[in-house]
Structure 1
């Protein structure tokens, strides 16, 4: 049997890397954290740390709650009370839950008030509003994107654009989906106008900690540069987070992965993961905390933090379209060094827009 041409090659990916310092007022860390709106996981690796320090635990436990609404009719995101109490105030984050961007209708609501619908062809034609073909159609015009700024004056309740979209979602397409929703800083109070009408549950981000001993790791800095190329370093970080051994023993047939050279061994390290609908504001506070911790003399000279966007979100960087056919990479990784130097790596897959 002849192998498909699609399987003959590794999916293309894009990695954008930069080195700078937090002391540079023009550093891009804060802006990049804000650009990835819809995050589902943050992973940290803290060398020479056996358990989560109390102050770190406090930061993680202060992450914002999020809400899961069952079978939300999407036209309810146009409800006037919800618009006034949450969307017009800014910083609402929402994404359809357990929908697949390459097969299902997917929805996102971004903090600037943009509603993004990624629709299959039939649903788009039934909806009957203006849109455009997806940039990532792997078949001719099989998927369409409808993107609406709910804060624009033409989308004010009662206006022509508003009524057309509302009628399409309420009477023609009648799109429903489980939906994750959060808001900063209003939280549940500002979302109550919407939550009170549906079956919903409140959730806290899930925190897991794992202590590693005798961890083989790259000798991170050599002459102020990474000791290995960014791809190898990120692959090693991913292997650590996925519990993949880099020992490559002769008796193991599960993995041939080895730690990049030159390498060193740390006696202990802490691997921490947080999962949920994670807000950029909370991630920014976490970065600030890790920066402060690196100034303490008893800790190792570096720490890493990796943030993953939702694989099946219709948007990735900013309000740019996100697409998945193979892979769906959608993350950034920050390596922080004790002298305030940082290395920022942003990764996307074959069906995604280049990071800003």
Structure 2
């Protein structure tokens, strides 16, 4: 076989939901989208016609955005009464197993809404003895099982059968240990590092981590306009090409290298500022960034739009809310918000909901 046309294979199915609206009429739409996406890894902001980026935008994720990595933590520690009372039931706690692969490893997370989610291999699940259900994406003979425990439930306290059963299984049946990424949005007047201090006092190695931040300026770039001539998917495609540093100047695109076409009606932009953070970000910090971008959008009129792109972890047990994360074809879970002074467009991407045949 010579020169197989591999590029004509259809891409894996995914769900893309686009929505447009007016901020005054649907104020909570964008914040609601942000708050449903619990585990955030990469954040990118694009600001056309901007040279000097306002400090509140940069500081939103550069200041007070430390998170922690704890080594070899026993999951039973996460359901102890002391841990639940101090961190799960106070503020918002986000915990995610690090360097685990959802298709072949056991994984764990604690969501900001207080759910412990265990994504387990069949052998681990049978040995553990807790009630769960086969993965939605498993075949006829399940290889993965999901166990969900509401840590904030009124009956999940010492002395209740449910709580005692969970603790006994985690302590006696299987010793589940993970390296964990931890971020805690603490109540007022309590230091967020208290969670790291607690685990350190329990004998675990804990390291503080800071997000990695990069910024750059680009000049003389064709930028599409929000409107009838450019669909939301064309905007997302342009944003992806720009983020990958595709040369989009007039006459520079070659059919040999790419078939991408700049959307009709694109206008030349003198300069574009782009910011990117990589780390482990809570929904509360992203809401702060969004509010800073909204304020900037209302103060500046000579730009086509502002974009906020957020990408989740490919191997998190859940993607949106408590929705189970697909692991067969891809790990897509991301969203993009385009905003102007009054209008917005959101595009959220999820892995396919289809069960494998």
Quick check: TM above 0.5? yes
Correspondence for 2:116: 115
Residue deviations 1:85-104, cap 9 Å, x none? 10111411011111111111
Correspondence for 1:37: 38
Correspondence for 2:230: 228
Correspondence for 1:174: 175
Matched, 1:165 2:171: no
Matched, 1:286 2:289: yes
Say what the alpha-carbon RMSD is for the aligned residues: 2.5
Provide runs of 4+ in structure 1 moved above 6 Å: none
CA positional deviation for 1:252: 8.2
Which consecutive unaligned segments of at least 5 residues does structure 2 have? none
Matched, 1:326 2:332: no
Residue deviations 1:192-237, cap 9 Å, x none? 323432101111222111111112221x133xx4x32222221221
What are the residue-to-residue correspondences of 1:183-262 with 2, within 5 Å? 183-186=184-187, 187-197=192-202, 198-218=204-224, 220-222=225-227, 225=228, 227-246=229-248, 249=252, 254-262=257-265
CA positional deviation for 1:249: 4.1
Correspondence for 2:145: 144
CA positional deviation for 1:250: 6.8
Correspondence for 1:49: 50
Which deviates the most, 167-176 or 118-127? 167-176
CA positional deviation for 1:121: 0.7
Correspondence for 1:269: 272
Q: State TM-score, norm by structure 2.
A: 0.89
CA positional deviation for 1:8: 4.5
CA positional deviation for 1:78: 1.1
Does the CA contact (< 8 Å) of 2:90 and 2:186 recur in 1? no
Q: Distance in 1 between matches of 2:303 and 2:9?
A: 42
Aligned with 2:321: secondary structure?
A: coil
CA positional deviation for 1:161: 1.9
Q: Distance in 1 between matches of 2:272 and 2:124?
A: 49
CA positional deviation for 1:296: 2.4
Residue deviations 1:62-95, cap 9 Å, x none? 2432111111111211122111110111411011
Does the CA contact (< 8 Å) of 2:325 and 2:351 recur in 1? no
Structure 1 pair 332–251 and aligned structure 2 pair: CA distance change class (3 A): closer
Does the CA contact (< 8 Å) of 2:232 and 2:345 recur in 1? no
CA positional deviation for 1:173: 2.0
Does the CA contact (< 8 Å) of 2:247 and 2:253 recur in 1? no
Aligned counterpart in structure 1 of residue 305 of structure 2, from 288, 302, 305: 302
Structure 1 pair 125–324 and aligned structure 2 pair: CA distance change class (3 A): same
Q: Distance in 1 between matches of 2:140 and 2:152?
A: 33
Which consecutive unaligned segments of at least 5 residues does structure 1 have? none
Does the CA contact (< 8 Å) of 1:38 and 1:277 recur in 2? yes
Does the CA contact (< 8 Å) of 1:131 and 1:146 recur in 2? yes
Does the CA contact (< 8 Å) of 1:328 and 1:351 recur in 2? no
Aligned with 2:246: secondary structure?
A: coil
CA positional deviation for 1:294: 1.6
Residue deviations 1:259-283, cap 9 Å, x none? 2223222111011111111111111
Q: Distance in 1 between matches of 2:196 and 2:322?
A: 22
Structure 1 pair 229–327 and aligned structure 2 pair: CA distance change class (3 A): farther
Which deviates the most, 315-324 or 256-265? 256-265
Aligned with 1:221: secondary structure?
A: coil
Structure 1 pair 271–70 and aligned structure 2 pair: CA distance change class (3 A): same
Q: State TM-score, norm by structure 1.
A: 0.89
CA positional deviation for 1:241: 1.7
Aligned with 2:155: secondary structure?
A: helix
